[in-house]
Amino acid sequence: LENIPTGVISLDAAGVILRLNTSVTRLLGVYGSDSHTLEGLLGADAARTVHYLMRRSLRMGVVSREIETVVAGRVLHLAVTVSSLGPRRANTGYVLVLDDLTEMLRAQKSAAWQEVARRIAHEIKNPLTPIQLSAQRLSRFLERRDPAQSAISHDSELAKLVQECSRLIEREVSTLAALVNEFSQFVRFPSAKLATTNANTIVHQAVEVFLGRLDGITLKTILAENLPAVRADGVLLRSVVVNLIDNAAEALENSACREIVVSTRAHSDAETVEICVSDTGHGISPQDKDKLFLPQFSTKDRGTGLGLAIAARIVAEHGGSIHVEDNLPVGSRFLVELPVAELTPASIADHNGTDATR
């Protein structure tokens, strides 16, 4: 039981936990005294559901249900199976089996939203060009009109209104075009072209994008020396860091302390390099943390919900992971973890001579 990835819990007839395997604590991220009760492991609401399933298992033998719970600040989707060890009068206990469905459901939702994005991009893109061309044509007509021959010129208010409306149409069409481009990028995701590089190089290039553009915000870098090399597509990975810095800047609106720190470090296992973007904003609620990387979810009023979804796909293409945690005492930290490159003579030369910055 200790070597299987599925969480297994044994309970006595009263529902008291007798034993659990290490996969339970790894899956739920709960240790110590909290792991002694179902309430401590799963939370009060989920524990009530499990107790209900235990009662049903006395009649049915084996019962299953999918549940959603928040444990240690993470939203988890679990498949719960309860088996009673004997009928009601002779019951000696229960076996509870937990399977994590979180990543599978996230992948299913991501695939569904790719199809939605494809359809929306197609339906919106077709009429955009004629709308934009018509607005531009109207603007040029007003600019070139002959005051003596143009009836519209005799009504200055009307002329001003038409000009303003034309510019508004052009501006909003540009906004829609940018939205369509994001949707298209999400659907037709480019394959990463990996080369050996240094994470510090990627961070430097991303930070340069914001030089002189973050009014009232302090942007710091804390870069570890002698970082192991990683295999990365410089353009794609840089776009991830740029997106995280841009999001951090937006999170600092109305914050008393406005600071962003981008840092790098090598994990102690010498197998992973971490890029961290932290801010001193208002933070992210536990309920929202696991939704951030879903394509339909956005904390911004005008956000498309695709920026972090695209970032997560890019990191996954690199064999890495991305997650968010609290930046104590205030704010959030986004951590990108990338596997260290397996250095060969060719890749060492690549690392020393060429960056992955197409």
Question: What pLDDT was estimated at residue 349?
Answer: 47
Q: Are residues 95 and 8 in contact, defined by beta-carbon separation less than 8 angstroms? A: yes
Which of 139-148, 170-179, 199-208 has maximum average pLDDT?
199-208
Residues 226, 343: one domain?
Answer: yes
Mean pLDDT of the chain: 82
Pick the last residue of a domain from 65, 100, 135. Answer: 100
In a domain, 1, yes or no: no
The arithmetic mean of pLDDT across residues 103-125, rounded, is 70
Residues 319, 238: one domain?
Answer: yes
In a domain, 203, yes or no: yes
In a domain, 319, yes or no: yes
Q: What is the DSSP letter of 97?
A: E
Question: What pLDDT was estimated at residue 356?
Answer: 41
- Residue 352 scores a pLDDT above 80: no
Residues 131, 50: one domain?
Answer: no
Residues 55, 94: one domain?
Answer: yes
Out of 38-47, 171-180, 327-336, pick the least confident: 171-180
Question: What pLDDT was estimated at residue 348?
Answer: 45
Output the six-digit token pair for 258. 């406005």
Residues 32, 111: one domain?
Answer: no
Q: What's the 3-state SS for 292-329?
A: CCCCCCCCCCCCCCCHHHHHHHHHHHCCCEEEEEECCC
Cis ω before 295 (30° cut-off from 0): no
Out of 60-74, 225-239, 284-298, pick the least confident: 284-298
Q: Which CATH number fits the domain that encloses residue 47? A: 3.30.450.20
- Residue 358 scores a pLDDT above 50: no
Residues 171, 27: one domain?
Answer: no
Residues 65, 140: one domain?
Answer: no
Strands (E), 12-124: 17-20, 62-71, 74-84, 94-100
Torsion of CA 266, 268, 271, 273, to 10 degrees: -20
Question: What pLDDT was estimated at residue 205?
Answer: 94
Number of domains the chain contains = 3
SS3 279: strand
Output the six-digit token pair for 250. 């937006």
Residues 39, 132: one domain?
Answer: no
The arithmetic mean of pLDDT across residues 61-67, rounded, is 90
In a domain, 2, yes or no: no
Residues 173, 238: one domain?
Answer: no
b (16+ CB within 10 A) / e for 55-85: eebbeeeebeeebebbbeeeebbbebbbbbe
Rounded CA separation 300/35 (Å): 37
The domain in which residue 299 lies consists of 195-353
Rounded CA separation 48/61 (Å): 19
Q: Are residues 244 and 238 in contact, defined by beta-carbon separation less than 8 angstroms? A: no
Question: What pLDDT was estimated at residue 354?
Answer: 39
Banded model confidence at residue 3, pLDDT cuts 50, 70, 90: confident
In a domain, 27, yes or no: yes
Question: What pLDDT was estimated at residue 136?
Answer: 82
The arithmetic mean of pLDDT across residues 177-192, rounded, is 68
Question: pTM of the entire structure?
Answer: 0.54
Residues 342, 213: one domain?
Answer: yes
What would the pLDDT profile of 263-322 be if each residue is shown by its tens digit?
A: 999 998 888 999 999 999 989 988 788 778 876 566 665 555 678 888 888 898 898 999
Question: What pLDDT was estimated at residue 321?
Answer: 92
b (16+ CB within 10 A) / e for 88-97: eeeeebbebb
Output the six-digit token pair for 15. 């529902």
In a domain, 358, yes or no: no
Q: Which CATH number fits the domain that encloses residue 283? A: 3.30.565.10
Pick the last residue of a domain from 152, 187, 222. Answer: 187
Which of 21-25, 80-84, 161-165 has maximum average pLDDT?
80-84
Which of 23-27, 84-88, 109-113, 176-180 has maximum average pLDDT?
23-27
- Taken as a whole, the chain contains a residue count of 358
What would the pLDDT profile of 20-36 be if each residue is shown by its tens digit?
A: 998 888 888 766 655 67
Residues 113, 135: one domain?
Answer: yes
Helix (H) or strand (E) holding 336: strand 332-339
Residues 207, 288: one domain?
Answer: yes
The arithmetic mean of pLDDT across residues 157-182, rounded, is 78
- Residue 185 scores a pLDDT above 50: yes
The arithmetic mean of pLDDT across residues 167-193, rounded, is 73
DSSP lists the bridge partners of residue 75 as 70
In a domain, 112, yes or no: yes
Q: What are phi and psi of 85, to 5 degrees?
A: -95, 70
Pick the last residue of a domain from 187, 215, 244. Answer: 187
Rounded CA separation 355/202 (Å): 9
In a domain, 212, yes or no: yes
